[in-house]
Amino acid sequence: MLDKRYVVSLLLMLTGLSGCSSLLPSEHAEARSPFGDYLDSEIRYSQAIPGKTTRSELFALGFDPLTVGNGKMLSFIDIRLMFVQANVPLDYLPDGLLSCLEAKDRCVGYAFEFNKTDTKRVGNFWADAFNFRKKRELQGWVFRAVFILVDDMLVHKLSNGEPNIRRYEVKRNPLGPLQGAGDFIFDQMK
């Protein structure tokens, strides 16, 4: 009689877990930034004005690679490689970049990338656990900015990013846990 109760309770527990997506893993990734979201970073970026904003003011806005992190310090050569192309005439470049190219060693740049993404596995726990079907939802934002300075004065800036990332991925393995077995066996035979 004890065995029947054990089997029944085990079946009830497994049935209860079959739709329990809370057992699926989740992931959070963030490039730490002083900005709460994409809009906040865009507002701070717009406050940096070429010809008026100094290096210390740019740092105060939150774009400081030393204290905030997640930024690259660019040399004159890095900036030249980033913006000057062989098939594009120099006079096509914005005035701020031209003044940087003329200033050479007095020109520096900063490149930043801030992001925040949350990944959550959704769907059937058993299909995921036995590798038949894995579904993931990814949402978040990414903001990138480049600032060019000559003699501690901002002369050029540009930004891009993804303000509202929403992705849904499905990976199907019809053979479930055996899907990668052929590769594993082949690797063992080497």
pLDDT for 135-175, tens place per residue?
A: 888 888 999 999 999 999 999 999 999 999 888 887 887 77
Asked if 101 and 145 count as a contact pair (C-beta separation under 8 A), the reply is no
Asked if 134 and 111 count as a contact pair (C-beta separation under 8 A), the reply is no
Q: Is the dihedral of CA 48, 54, 60, 65 positive or negative?
A: positive
pTM flag (> 0.85): no
> Which tens digit of pLDDT belongs to each residue from 2-47?
566 666 565 556 555 555 555 666 665 656 778 889 999 999 999 9
Give residue 31's pLDDT: 62
CA distance 127 to 171: 11
Every domain of the chain and the residues it spans? 24-184
CA distance 32 to 64: 12
CA distance 143 to 74: 18
> Which tens digit of pLDDT belongs to each residue from 74-106?
999 999 999 988 888 888 889 999 999 999 999
